[in-house]
Homo-oligomer: A and B are copies of this chain.
Amino acid sequence: MARATTMKQIAERAQVSIGTVSHVINGTASVRDKLRRRVLDAIASLGYQPSQLARGLRRNSTNMLGMVIPDITNPFFPRVVRGVEDVAFEASYRVVLCNTDNDSVKEKAYVDELRSYRPAGLLVIPAAQRSLSFNSEYPMAAGLPAVYLDRRPAGWRGDAVVAANEEGAFQATSYLVKAGHTRLAMLTGPSHLTNASERLAGFRRAISQHKIRIGQEYVQETRFDRETGYRASMRLLRMLPRPTAIFASNDMVALGTLLAIREMGLKCPRDISVMGFDDLEFGMFTDPALSSVHQSGYQLGATAARLLLERILGTRLSSRQVVLPTELRIRNSVAPPSALAG
């Protein structure tokens, strides 16, 4: 295993001390132009790269940003990650990615290990609302800047960036109501996640504001995936009277609903309307095209990364809670209820 070029070699070649090399690299003291040039030349010709390990050890901090997400395979998260990466890269930070599978144990393991690399900060989409690893101000407590995204763990008083989940769900539900639907069902997502419970709250606010009452069996808990969306939808579709509209807590769940409708021999939107949340790219291509509450995963990530960088650089002190806007995108999967339905 060939060892890489070190500062010592640069120093020898440039005929200066190792301290001087460090100074020209970090701009930590002014160096006479002649020496500076010699150093730069040596660096260029030897292709020297400072050891991030040695530097991190000495400084007790690296240019890594730890990012903890549930599952990169879920199509919403890649955009978030990309938003983070772009902002981080621009500022010379690198992103280390970890998938928790929504498992708080794995989350804790990852966070603990990440810490041992002394990242400059942490970006976390928490696995659960009440996580053992994050119940208080855990990451901050040890002086590690952290920003939470997408979901907010209970009790977290630091920086966070989330979408307007309640409001978005309220808008979407209101739209369905105004289209004439009164038998509305909701697939909630995991009730222990803030984004899911906020969306449910928005749904409830809309129907109660319109004086609509629905049976509790019309509200079904799911995970945030197609599989549970499909199963819960099958249950809904077999109920009598059958709901005329289903609001899914995210697009993956809505995909399951579309599948269930197809399998039951029903037709969307003729027999039943479907609304999703997230507005993932594939929604434009489904049959029928999926109506959804749009949120920008990229902005979510980019914004969180910016907050984190600001905190790392210490330009801000008070903690900030950013709420990103959502926007209703109506496509073919929603229509007024047919007189025959039910």
Enumerate chain A interface residues (CB-CB to B < 8 A).
1-4, 49-54, 56-57, 60-62, 64, 71-73, 75, 77-79, 81-82, 85, 94-99, 112-113, 115-118, 142-143, 255, 258-259, 282, 285-288
A49 CB contact (under 8 Å) in B51, B94, B115: B115
Number of copies of chain A assembled together = 2
Q: Which of B52, B82, B282 contacts A116 (CB 8 A)?
A: B52
Closest beta carbon of chain B to A9's beta carbon, Å = 15
A3 neighbours in B (Cβ, 8 Å): 60
CA distance A3 to B118 in the complex (A): 10
The answer, among B75, B117, B143, for a CB contact under 8 Å with A75, is B75
Determine the distance from Cα of A1 to Cα of B121 in the docked complex, in whole angstroms.
Answer: 12
Residues of chain B within 8 A of A117, CB atoms compared: 52-53
Interface pair B82/A99, CB less than 8 Å apart: yes
26 of the cross-chain contacts (CB-CB < 8 Å) are A1-B143, A3-B60, A4-B115, A4-B116, A49-B112, A49-B115, A51-B57, A51-B116, A52-B116, A53-B57, A53-B116, A53-B118, A71-B82, A73-B79, A73-B82, A75-B78, A81-B97, A85-B97, A255-B285, A282-B282, A282-B285, A282-B286, A285-B285, A285-B287, A286-B286, A287-B287
**Cβ–Cβ < 8 Å partners of A288 in chain B:** 287
Compute how far the CA of A112 lies from the CA of B258 in the bound complex, rounded to whole angstroms: 47
Chain B residues near A57 (CB-CB < 8 A): 51, 53-54, 57
Q: How far is the CB of A3 from chain B (nearest CB, A)?
A: 7
Known contacts A52-B117, A85-B98; 18 additional CB pairs below 8 A are A1-B143, A2-B142, A53-B53, A53-B56, A53-B118, A57-B57, A64-B96, A72-B82, A72-B85, A73-B79, A85-B97, A94-B113, A95-B97, A96-B96, A97-B97, A255-B285, A259-B285, A286-B287
A72 and B78 form a contact (CB under 8 A): yes
**Chain B proximity of A2: nearest CB distance (Å):** 5
* A42 → chain B closest CB, angstroms: 17
A54: B residues at CB distance < 8 A:
57
In Å, the complex CA distance between A85 and B15 comes to 45
A78 x B82 contact (CB < 8 A): no
CB distance from A264 to the nearest CB of B (A): 16
A75: min CB distance to chain B, Å: 6
Closest CB in chain B relative to A208 CB, distance in Å:
33
A134 to B95, CA, bound (A): 23
Minimum Cβ distance to chain B for residue A324 (Å): 18
Contacts of A73 in B (CB 8 A): 78-79, 82
Whether the Cβ atoms of B96 and A94 lie closer than 8 Å is yes
Q: Which of A53, A112, A285, A287 has the most CB of B within 10 A?
A: A53
What B residues does A112 contact at CB under 8 A?
Answer: 49
Q: A154 CB to closest chain B CB, in angstroms?
A: 22
Contacts of A116 in B (CB 8 A): 4, 49-53
